[in-house]
Each structure stands twice: as structure tokens, then as C-alpha cells.
Amino acid sequence: MISVIRIDDRLLHGQVALLWTQTYSIHTVVIVNDKVVNDEFLKMTLGLAKPIGVELKIISVADGIAYMREQMETTRRVMVIINNLLDAKRIFDELDLPSLNFGNLRERADSARYAPAISLTSEDIEICKYLLDKGVELEIRRTPDESKTLIKKLLNK
Amino acid sequence: MLQSILVGLISVIGLCDYLTGTSMIQRPVVLGALVGLVYGDLPTGVIMGSSIELIFMGQMSIGGAVPVVTLAGCVAVAIAMQSGAGLEAALALAVPFGVLYSMLDNLHYILVQVFVSGMDKAAKEGDYKKYERYHWCAFGLWSLLYFVSTVICVNLGSTLVENFFNSLPAWLMDGISAGTKLLPALGFAILLNSIWNKKIAAFFFIGFVLAAYLGLDTIAIAILGASVAVLYFTLGSTELPDFSAPADSKPMLTKKEINNMFWRAFTLEASYNYEKFQGTGFGYALIPALRKIYGDDKEALAEAMSRNCVMFQTTPQCAPINMGITLAMEEEYSRNRDTMDPASIGAVRSAFMGPLAGIGDSIFWGILRTVAAGVACSLGVQGNVAAPLVFLIIFNVPAVFTRYYGAHKSYELGMNFVSKLSQYNLLENLSIAAGIVGLMVIGGMTSSMVWVSTPLVITAGDMAISVQEFLDSLLPSMVPLLTVYIMSKLLKKNIKPVVLMISALVVGVLLTYIGVL
């Protein structure tokens, strides 16, 4: 089953390795990203952060969708990490998942900050609205013990 | 008034945590002692500080997600000492003041943006003097905010508390006191949840038995744990990568510049903000080395400063490693400007910072700080005034070593440093070894630092059986162990730590009232 799907431009780091994998008793962390999968250096650095006893997979978006479809039927607890909203759209178009967690999205050109660690561009906002229309819950939580901040509420302001 | 001003200064000393590379001087076990000095009662300050430390032990600052700020500890101790309301009041106050101070922090993060955009502009212009000035201004602003708020809080707070706590009935105070004794269990549960790992889980129970049955104190268990961790390396077939510098290297930077970076890296979080996180401080640390690399080429220096004043976030103690690699790459770029893409510098830094934090947060925040605090608090709650020093030494010796060695070796090896780290599963083995010490110490503290006992006596005819004695005969420290277990389960159900803290106080009051605690 897919326990968490998280968008985080730092991919695998302290918040994920230390808190999320433990709180949700994650068996496998899957980094789904077309760039990382072809970058040996990135793969090596991400491998360094692998929490003990947790399996780490790094796969492309297309493979990620197939893998997730497969895992949705099992009892293994999988955490999926992506780093941009375009990939989120591709995934949520294919799979019926209830919720997307927003961890960290840094400031970029023409982005605006919506929460301490979340900045969104106008393109991001379009995708957020699209996902919200599909009925996906978009929630901001850097660490699992924080309260959910709903993107829906932020956009309605 | 004078005393509250001194406490205000102490809160600024606590804030200097961010000037000294998260040296943990803002933890209650340190600040409590300083407040004790102000009120002329050092041992009481140490006892209160250590007790609050135990409660806040699970509060970690991971990846820019700042929890209830621990600095509140010093205010709570000050109010308790000024109003004469005692330890229970300090413990109960630490929670609301923690919330108050995290709001204060949020205010600071809004105001600090002025300096952050100034630094951004200065970097683009290559004006390093202005950049450095803003870095310090940002910290100045933070200090001022804390100083003023602390003075106000201590003055208002102690008047309120004097009237409030002294009018509370004794049964309620006893209840709160019992409740606060449950709180360390929450901290241990948070820590356990973050470092628990089936492979080495047995060490938690070994630590527990050493304390519960053999009565060993935390120091003894920490030493045993460290010995086991060392054995894990020496008896296992763990090979260590060769970190010596390549013989043919002709570095542009000398020890002097790298040392300068090492010192400046301590101020990494002085201008911390929610736009670039540690990025502004990262740029600050690199300035002398960049000036040497780019010499008189003002334009190149400005570009390099801009390149290194971008979003950055990792475990502060590991940041010098990232800085060294960045400098090695900047140097390479200055030599091959036509062939190398400068964007690769940022790409490597940004690829490495997350994973480094994954491992660094777990070792420094999760384990090293826990062991240091565990040992120090076991001394501190008995009023041993060496507690704050013991705490700072145990934490900072490995931390400073990592910083120094990390800065120099990562510069010498550049990107190869990363591949060396990935050799022979070095980091994974290091986390396992550290995890062993951490779990043993938390196991021990579960027995020795969660003081829950029941005065219940069951009478059957002429026989009177003390429930506590009965439980102890089954399994000593059974109640603390269960409490930690329940807390850990509740946390996994996603119940917030603040909610659990308040519930623990309420449960304490209720159970005391009906005579179970």
C-alpha cells in the first residue's frame, strides 16, 4: 500500500529518513524521478541517507507508476517521494490516490511563498487546482507531528 | 528588575547556539544553571534545568522544522525562582512558554527577510562587506527580540504565577507534579520512534535491564553502549575508506582559509530564514576562500557569492563537509572556466545536503544529544552542578571533530569525498553503532528517569499488599516501560506531542486525586 506520497525538493533527508519512515513504519522508500534515475552521483548521495532497515528504490516516473499500481495491492508500506508537481500530475492522472503531502518546495523564479517551506509558481498552482478538482487532499506537513495545512484553504484566501 | 535583565541576557546567550554551530547551549540543562546563578541558587537552577531537559528531550529541530523552542526553559526556571513557586510551576510553565517563544520565532522570520534580501543583493554586487554586515544584523535583530520578550515575560510571568500557583489547592499541585513526572516518558517515546530499528532493538532492553535490575546509572550504561559500538567496528570486518589527499593535488587554498571557513561555519544559522534557510550563512562562511580563489576578479567573485547564497539546509555539524566540497569545485571552476558548467557546483551541493542531513540529524540530534543529555540529567536532577558542562563536552567534542575534519578532508578530496563515504557502508555502520549507544541509554533512562510509582495498598483481611512492591516483584520499572510504550503507540497514531503533554498533566492530576499515583 502507498502510505505516503510526498513532494519534497530535497528528496531524502532528515525529516524523511528520521521521522516519516519511522512514524509510518515504512518498508520501502521510492524516489520517483526521471532525472535522478540517470544520475549516478545523485543516486550515490541518496544511498548514503538510507535509513537502516528501510529499502530504497530510485526509479523513473513511468516505472514508478507501474510499481505503485502493483504495491497498492500489497500490505508493504511504501513511501513515495517526488520533487515537482508535474510528476505529481502524471502520477495522479494514472492512479487513484487520496492525498499528497507537501514537504519542502524552495523558492524559484516567479514563485510565491504559501507556507514556511512551500513556495509555488503559477504553474504549480494550476496543477494544485487540477488535483483539488480531482478530489485529492493536498496537505502541507514537513514532519509527521505537525498539523496539516490544507493547500485548498491557502488558495481560497 | 536587574535579575530579569540578566535573564534576558541569558536568553541571548542561549540564542548564541546559532552562532556556535548548534552547540546546544540553548538547552534547558545549560540555561537553567545560568538562571540559577542569577538567583543565587546554582544547584536549584541545575535541578530545574535538568528536569525540563528531560521533558523536552524529544524536541528536535529537524531540517528547518523548529519545534517548541527550548529556550523557554530558561524563562520558566526564572519565573519559578523569582516567584518562589518551585519546580512544579517551572515544569508546568515550560510548555506554554515553549509555544509563546515559537510564536516569537515566527515573528523574527518575517522581520529577518529585510536582511535576507539585502544579503541577496550584496552577493550579486560582490559586496562582501555589506553581506557580512547583514549576516550579523540578522542575528542582532533576533537577539534584541529575545532579550526584550524575555525581560517582559519574566516580570509579568512571576507576578501572575505568584498569585496563581500559590492559590492552587495542594491536591492539584501534587497532581501536576505527578503528571510532569510522566513527561520524560513522552520525550523518550519520541526519541525511540525516531531511532528504533528492529536490527538493534534488543539493545533498548539490554539498557533497560542494566538500569532496572542492576541499578546502573546512565553514565555506566553510556560507557557500556559506547564499548559495544566500538566492538561492532573492531570485531566486524568493517574496513575504513582511505581519506588521504591525492598526492598530485595543488590546492589554491591553504590551511588558513579552510580554518577560517571552519570558524565561520559556526555562525551558519545566525541569519537563518525561511527563504534560503542556512544559505545566507553558508555564503558567509565561504567568503574568505572565494576571495582567495577569484582574487581581483570582482565579477567572478560576485557570481560565486550569488551561487553560494541560495537555499541550503543540512545538519549544522555536517555543513562544513558541504562547504569543503563546494570550495573544491569552485576552485576547479576558476581553473577551467571554459569547460566546466558552474551550475554543477550548486547541483552537487544540493544533491548532497539532504542525504547528509538524513544521517547527520539522526546521529547528532537523535543520538549524541540524547546520550549527552541523559548522562548530564542523571547528574543534574541530583543537583550536581557539573551537569551542564558534562552535557556540553559530551556533545561538542565529537561535533567539533566532525566539523574540523569534515572541512579539511572534504576540501582536499572534493567530490571524491562523497564516494569515499559511500565505500564499505561506512555511514550505515556508523548509524548502527551510534544507534546501539542511543537505544541502550534510552532503555536505561526509561527505568531510571521516569519516576512513576503508586502508593496504592490493597487490603485483603489482615494482609496489606503494596501494589508498587507487587509490580516491582514482577518486573522492576514495569510502569515506566508501559508508559513509554503507550506514548510511542499514541505518537504513531499521529497524536501531537503537545496534546500528549497536556494529557499527561491531566492524567497525573486525575490519578493522584483518586489515589493511584
Of the given ranges (A10-19, B5-14, B331-340, B479-488), which has the lowest mean pLDDT?
A10-19
| Nearest CA among B325, B314, B321 for reference residue B405 | B321
Report the gap between the CA of A97 and the closest CA in chain B (Å): 20
Residues whose CB is less than 8 angstroms from the CB of residue B136 and which lie 6 or more positions away in sequence, other chains included = B270
- Which of B194, B359, B494 has its CB closest to that of A48? B359
Cβ contact (<8 Å) for A143 and B432? no
- From B65, B313, B352, residue closest to A143, measured CB to CB: B65
ipTM of the complex: 0.82
pLDDT digits 0-9 by tens, A12-68: 988 888 889 988 989 999 999 999 999 988 898 898 888 888 999 999 999 999 999
Say if CB B39 and CB B3 are below 8 A apart: yes
CA atoms within 13 A on the CB side of B66: 22
Amino acid found at B464? A
Cβ contact B243:B413 at 8 Å = yes
- pLDDT tens digits along B186-233: 889 988 988 888 889 999 999 999 999 999 999 999 999 999 999 998
Q: Is residue B501 part of a domain?
A: yes
What pLDDT score does A23 carry? 87
Q: Measuring CA to CA, which residue among B241, B200, B418 is closest to residue A48?
A: B418
Give domain status of residue B300, yes or no: no
- The distance of Cα A76 from the centroid of its chain, to the nearest Å, equals 18
Q: Is there a domain that residue B480 lies in?
A: yes
pLDDT digit string (tens) for B291-319?
Answer: 999 999 999 999 999 999 999 999 999 99
**Among candidate residues A37, A21, A114, the one with its CA nearest the CA of residue B62:** A21
- Look at chain B and report how many structural domains it folds into: 1
- Chosen for mutation from A7, A13, A106 (greatest number of chain B CBs closer than 10 Å) is A13
Identify all chain B residues contacting A144, using CB atoms and an 8 Å cutoff: 494
Which of B494, B495, B498 is the best residue to mutate to test the A interface, defined by the most A CB atoms within 10 Å of its own CB?
A: B494
Range of the domain at B460: 451-513
* CB-based contact, B313 to chain A, within 8 Å: yes
- Tell me the C-alpha distance between B331 and B333, whole Å: 5
Kindly write down the DSSP assignment for every residue of B304-358, as one continuous string: HHHHTSS-B---GGGHHHHHHHHHHHHHHHHH-TTT--THHHHHHHHHHHHHHHH
Which pLDDT belongs to residue B69? Answer: 57
The residues of A whose Cβ lies within 8 A of any Cβ of B are: 10-19, 22-23, 25, 39, 41-42, 44-53, 104, 106-107, 113, 116-117, 142-147
Rounded Cα–Cα distance for residues B445 and B448 (Å)? 5
Domain assignment present for B330: no
Q: Look at residue B489 and tell me if it is in a domain.
A: yes
Q: Which of B190, B106, B104 is nearest to B151 (CA)?
A: B104
pLDDT at B269: 95
The DSSP symbol for B277 reads B
Alpha-carbon distance of B409 to B400, in angstroms, equals 14
The answer to whether the CB of B64 falls within 8 A of the CB of B277 is: yes
What mean pLDDT do residues B20-36 have? 93
Give a yes or no: residue B495 inside a domain.
Answer: yes
Q: Which residue has the cell 544559522?
A: B269
B187 and B58 Cβ atoms separated by less than 8 Å: yes
Looking at chain B, which residue has its C-alpha nearest residue A54? Answer: B197
Contacts of B474 (CB under 8 A, 6+ apart): none
Higher pLDDT, B377 or B497: B377
Nearest to A52 among B109, B199, B356 (CB): B199
| Contacts of the segment B496-504: beta carbons below 8 A, 24+ positions apart | B496/A145, B496/A147, B497/A145, B497/B58, B497/B59, B497/B67, B497/B186, B497/B190, B498/B68, B498/B95, B498/B99, B500/B186, B501/B55, B501/B95, B501/B183, B501/B186, B502/B95, B504/B179, B504/B180, B504/B182, B504/B183, B504/B185, B504/B186
Calculate how close chain A gets to B514, using CA atoms only, in Å.
32
Residue B67 has pLDDT above 60, yes or no: no
| pLDDT tens-place string over residues B473-503 | 888 888 899 999 999 999 888 888 878 888 8
- B2 inside domain: no
Instruction: State whether B358 and A17 contact (CB < 8 Å).
Output: yes
- Whether B484 is covered by a domain: the verdict is yes
Chain A residues in contact with B361 by the CB 8 A cut-off are 13-14, 17-18
Average pLDDT value for chain B = 90
Residue pair B79/B209 in contact (Cβ under 8 Å)? The answer is no
Residue B438: the pLDDT is 95
Looking at this protein, which amino acid is placed at residue B349? R
